[in-house]
Amino acid sequence: MRSFSPLVLGLLGATAAVSAAEPADAADSNVIALTKDTFGDFVKEHDLVLAEFYAPWCGHCKALAPKYEEAATELKSKEIPLVKVDCTAEEDLCREYEVDGYPTLKVFRGPESHKPYGGARQADSIISYMTKQSMPAVSTVDEENLEEFKTLDKIVIIGYVGADDKAASESFTAFAESQRDNYLFASSSDAALAKAEGAKQPSIVLYKDFDEKKSVYDGKFDDEAISKFVKTASTPLVGELGPETYGKYMAAGIPLAYIFAETAEEREKFADEFRPIAEKHRGDVNIVTLDAKLFGAHAGNLNLEPEKFPAFAIQDTTKNAKYPYDQTKKITAKEVGKFIKDVIDGKVEPSIKSEPVPETQEGPVTVVVGRNYQELVIDNKKDVLLEFYAPWCGHCKALAPKYEELAALYADVAEFKEKVVVAKVDATANDVPDSITGFPTIKLYRADKKDEPVEYNGSRTVEDLVTFIKENGKYEVDGLAEGAKKAEESGDVTGSASSSQAAETPAASEDVHDEL
């Protein structure tokens, strides 16, 4: 199942939909087609190979083809071959390498040594990634080759460490080993060269082809500190958000500020105006421009009006808190700059998309909305079973009567009512802090471990849900046992839980989520 991220789905979809030129004829292609009979020998004969496992009918493969060809042509001069395998014709070979989707890209260092390709599916990204793979984790630079090394990629990182500084050298090398898929690294022990580059020993210089062109770090040489420096220094002051950059911004761990604009000229103008603000708040917030024509629908996810541009909003990516800027106001660097500072300083309340808070709770299932989520799910001392649903979801509709029956097992017993709550929230109409991968998603928030919810992955029967609550809740309440006891006392031989024991339809019992 795909993650619930409308923006990333939109970005990926837009990428796949790009109409690209047809790949070159096989005779003219620099991408080498291999079969089961030729693949093993080929990867044995070459130190480094990038292989694409594809299907001719695959739309994403067709979109990748011209980019893959362009990368193959560029990398040919570096003796890094790019190959392809048609999985509709070479099923055994693709099965051997556990190909379960198209296209699948893998980096080979011999038939037995391979790993997934970790870059983006763009020509320059493939070239950059494979160039890094072809080099040692840390190269050596001197006065003669320094300038050439700087041009090998958009970002290169050089450690200027004295020959006798073993601790700093080991720390830098360890970091380079862990990040070799992402950056090119080199080192120099020449103190004079470091001085000429505006650095001292030990220090790290990150060279880049954007913004101020280089950043210098001369702090403590430990992994966390170096990582923070590199993450901040390698991010453009005002970048462009798209398929190739989305993951990096989401993983940055700091708020992301979006500038939605419909034309390239507008986005460039905003980028220039906001660069000083981005410099001022560097490390506290990342600022990006976003093509509103392609990805304007994402504005709605940030609680903006999705067709009124230009627009601005900040998202705290770790808490999923949203701060939309008033769309009746003109977007100027000066005024939005004040808004950014106020958000960073905690002076702005996050916007919460929410249905109205119910005046009364009707029925056994507690209705949660954005504005009472904290109160009903997190702040109480009860075990809370929460269903995240969508009104259009067929599986949610099939679950509804059983979920009502489940809730009644606890709501109808005073003792249990104080220990267990069965609740639901429309995740399409209310902001929720949880990561949702499909509908319905059911999670149990244990009374004493609210920050560690347990997701339910069993069959959607009342019995199994009761067992889940009993085994994972703080109070270990057995709702079915109490239901049977009540039925016996009332003389009802079927009991309140008996309907749950009827045979499930296959569609209802499958562990399937509707995609978002």
Of 288, 393, 407, 516, catalytic: 393
Q: Give mean pLDDT, residues 204-209.
A: 96
Yes or no: say if 162 and 192 are a contact pair by the CB < 8 Å rule: no
User: Confidence band (pLDDT; 50, 70, 90) for 485?
Assistant: low
Question: Alpha-carbon distance 65 to 61, whole Å?
Answer: 6
Mean pLDDT on 324-349: 96
- DSSP letters, 85-113, are EETTT-HHHHHHTT--SSSEEEEESSSS-
Q: What is the pLDDT of residues 371-420, one digit of tens each?
A: 999 999 999 999 999 999 999 999 999 999 999 999 999 998 888 989 99
Is 290's pLDDT higher than 90?
yes
Q: What band does 7 get if pLDDT is binned at 50, 70 and 90?
A: very low
pLDDT-based confidence at residue 346 (cuts at 50, 70, 90): very high
Active site annotation includes 87: no
- Confidence label for 26 from pLDDT (cuts 50, 70 and 90): low
Peptide bond connecting 358 to the previous residue in cis, omega within 30 degrees of 0? no
| Contact status, residue 248 vs residue 154, Cβ threshold 8 Å | no
Instruction: Give the pLDDT band of residue 481 (cuts 50, 70, 90).
Output: low
* Burial of residue 77 (number of CB atoms within 10 Å: 0-12, 13-18, 19+): exposed
94 annotated active-site: no
pLDDT higher than 90, residue 252: no
- Strands in 366-368's sheet, in edge-to-edge order, are 366-368, 420-426, 383-389, 441-446, 449-455
**pLDDT for res 179:** 93
Question: Does the structure show a pLDDT above 70 at 17?
Answer: no
Q: Mapping DSSP to helix (H, G, I), strand (E, B) and coil, where does residue 288 land?
A: strand
Could you give the CA distance from residue 234 to residue 244 in angstroms, rounded to a whole number?
A: 14
Q: If pLDDT is split at 50, 70 and 90, which confidence band does 80 have? A: very high
Averaged over 137-147, what is the pLDDT? 95
Average pLDDT for 163-176: 95
Q: What is the length of the chain?
A: 516
pLDDT of residue 25: 53
Q: pLDDT tens-digit profile of 257-276?
A: 999 999 999 999 999 999 99
How much is the average pLDDT of 93-117? 91
Averaged pLDDT of the chain = 87
Selecting among 50, 61, 226, 365, the annotated active-site residue is: 61
Examine the pLDDT at 336 and tell me if it is beyond 90: yes
For residues 348-357, average pLDDT: 94
Quote the percentage of the chain above a pLDDT of 70: 88
pTM of this structure: 0.66
Q: In what order do the strands lie in the sheet with 155-160?
A: 139-140, 184-188, 155-160, 203-208, 214-217
Identify the pLDDT of residue 250.
87
Residue range 497-515, pLDDT digits in tens? 433 333 233 233 344 455 4
The catalytic residue among 16, 24, 58, 137 is 58
Please give the pLDDT value at position 320: 81
Q: Is 396 in the active site?
A: yes
Alpha carbon distance 371, 432 (integer Å): 10
Q: State the catalytic residue, choosing from 64, 161, 377, 396.
A: 396
